[in-house]
Each structure stands twice: as structure tokens, then as C-alpha cells.
Amino acid sequence: MSIHVEQAIIHAISQNTEGQLSCRLRPQPLLNTQAVETMLDELHQTYTSKAGKGFGHFGIAGDDGEANPAFERALTDYRSGELGFVEFSGLAGKLLQQELAKYDFSQGGFLLLSCYTYMTSDYLFVSLLNAKSSMTVLDDMELSQNTHLDLNNVQLAARIDLTEWQADKGSRKYISFVRGRAGRKVADFFLDFMGCVEGLNTKVQNKSLLTAVEDFVASSELTKDERQQTRERVFDYCSERCDSGADIEIKDLADELAEQGMESFYDFAQGGDYALEDEFPADKPTLRQLKKFSGTGGGVTLSFDGTHLGERVIYDPISDTIMIKGVPANLKDQLDRRLKGE
């Protein structure tokens, strides 16, 4: 299912030879052409599939850091009809320019704002895109250098669920954002210009879900295979929700497990000390622990499917050792060649 684009616009933030930033505002929205639809649909899919996103909400009085309310006010005026989309986006461009001016590491970029509808929700997508040079061959076989938007490497982006924001003022997760490679700090300035503060910690929620699932199967009378099947069913459900951009719903997950003969997971999860929200976004890297064991340290990296524990992979916590039966063929070949060479 593709998105339905309502409005989209791009503004340019650039740096002059003296290091001063300026914002060149586009006076009208982008024409709703097939190229624009295709670009935004691609960005939507790319953004939705990104793992490890953070979640937050607009700051209010008393929040740490005294979040700037200017972006939220402008967005409120736009949604109420007091501001047009172009005027709202222009205010956003100026706010980002002012925020970037506080730092000496930015050379600007292209600020993209787009309002679109996907399924039953309205969204505002905000991203600072970089330009990338490339070479192309012309009809006369001459080379030409072109500049294009780097859509495959979006590092500064946020998406506001406008429907959730306006329907549930108490929500702490209607704004999602891409975490930088070095963690949350990389994107601080981008969130600050929107007045966004981090709210729900999805990694903590997903880890709590893992603990609840492990405790639940441990308290059951299932066989080893049935326990692993339950873990994989939980992983499949959460993955499906993540891929579609939907939240994990504990009640919905409990109903899924009930169909497999696993009753009362909802009561179990809510009755323990897991501090699980009823709904929260999925974090695939964390949830993958339901199916696989992996770890790195001291120059050793090890990963194996959970079904092998106790069979092909024997762990002895007392001696702090792991024994592997049936070494993978490519690894065995490397080891044999090394032993032969020595």
C-alpha cells in the first residue's frame, strides 16, 4: 500500500564563504508529480524499515532542556488552518537555520517537509537531506557531473504521527526519529529545532518483553520445541508489526499466542514487574534474541540459532565454555588449513 501525498516542499540551507548560514525558501509546494510521489514513497518505506529509531514528543514546561515550542506552535496553526503549508514550512526552515547556526559542524542541506496519509493516519515527514555528486554519460558519450539528493543515506529525519498527536496529548511516542550512528547525541540539534524530547524508550520496552516471554515459557509445561516455537511466534508477530510500521500490542500478541494454545500471556505480562506499556514500537535487533544467541568480545564473535542450544551447542556456565558439535564447513576448512600450515 502506497502513501497519499498531501503537500511537500524543499528549502535549501547553505553556508557562504564566511561560514554564515542562510535559508533559501521555495515560494510554493512541489508539484504533486509522479517523481514526487515516487520519492516520498521510497523515503516512507526506507524510514519505516530503519531499525533502532527513537521516539519522543513535543516538550512542555518543566521538561529538561526547556524545549523550544516554536515548531509545535507553527504546526498547530497549520493544522488549524491559520497558516498555509508554505508559511509553516518557511517558519520551520528558519528555525532549523537558527539551530544550525549554534554549531560549527554543519554546512546545511535540503530541508524536506511532507504531509501525507498512510492507511488511517496523517504524518508529517521532516528530513535534512544531503546532496551527492555522480557522473553520467551523455548521448554524445561525454561525461557530465550531476548533483542529486542522497535518499539512500538518510541520517537526519523525523516523522510525526499527526493523528496520534492530536488525538492523544498524553502520548510520548508520536514523534519518531532516526538515531545517529554514534547514538542519540548526533541528532540533538535536529530534534531541538522541533522542540522534541525523547519519551518512550523502545529498547527497554522490547527487552522487558523478552524477559516476560522467557519467564512465561519457563513457567509453562511446554516441551523444549514448543517453547522455541512460542518464541518464534512472538518474533514473527513483532516483525510483522515492525515491517508495517505498527506498534506491538500486548493484548493482540496475547491473542496470537492463545490461538497456539498459550493462554493468559496478557495477564502474566501485566501482573509481573515488567513495566510494559500496552503498545510500543518494535526493535528488531533486540527481538532477534528470541531466535538467536550472539555475542562479541575479546576478539571472538559467536552466533547461533536458539534451537541448537543444548544439542549442537553445549554451554557450561561453571567452566565458562561452549562446545560446538558439527563445525560449519567453511569454518572447518579454515581451521584445517591453519592447523596444516602450522
Three-state SS across 315-341? EECCCCEEEECCCCHHHHHHHHHHHHH
pLDDT value at 125 more than 90 = yes
- 70 Cβ neighbours under 8 A, 6+ residues apart: 91, 95, 195
- Read off the pLDDT of each residue in 97-107 and give the average, rounded to a whole number: 80
* Backbone torsion region of residue 293, taken as left when φ is above 0, otherwise alpha when ψ lies between -120 and 50, otherwise beta: beta
Q: Are 247 and 281 in contact (CB under 8 A)?
A: yes
How many residues does the structure list for the chain? Answer: 342
pLDDT value at 182 more than 50 = no
pLDDT value at 83 more than 90 = yes
SS3 79: helix
Domain ranges of the chain: 4-198, 202-289, 292-341
pLDDT class of 67 with cuts at 50, 70, 90: confident
Please report the pLDDT score of residue 64 as a whole number. Answer: 52
pLDDT class of 63 with cuts at 50, 70, 90: very low
- 342 Cβ neighbours under 8 A, 6+ residues apart: none
pLDDT value at 202 more than 80 = yes
242-251 per-position pLDDT tens digit: 888 788 999 9
Would you call 27 exposed, middle or buried from its count of C-beta atoms within 10 A (0-12, 13-18, 19+)? exposed
